């Protein structure tokens, strides 16, 4: 499963569209996010770690790094 598929699945489970996510990320960061720009970032897998943490916080998930 690709990172894009995982994020889209989590968004769907939380009833959040890409459009709503773009609005919430813009409100949280003050940086303009559009549905198109977020869609491109997910397709290219170019979402930054900072953006991932913000996205996960918006949908009430925590990113955790565990040593294998």
CB atoms within 10 A of CB 6: 11
pTM, entire model: 0.86
Separation of alpha carbons 34 and 52, rounded Å: 16
Tokens of 68: 């294998």
pLDDT in tens, 11-58: 999 999 999 999 999 999 999 999 999 999 999 999 999 999 999 999
Average pLDDT over residues 58-67: 94
Sequence spans of domains, the chain: 3-58
Residue 34 CA to residue 61 CA, distance in Å, equals 22
């Amino acid at each position: 499963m690709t990172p894009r598929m995982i994020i889209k699945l989590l968004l769907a489970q939380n009833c959040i569209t890409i459009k709503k996510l773009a609005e919430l990320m813009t409100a949280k960061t003050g940086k303009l996010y559009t549905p198109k720009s977020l869609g491109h970032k997910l397709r290219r897998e170019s979402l930054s770690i900072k953006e991932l943490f913000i996205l996960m916080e918006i949908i009430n998930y925590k990113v955790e790094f565990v040593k294998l």
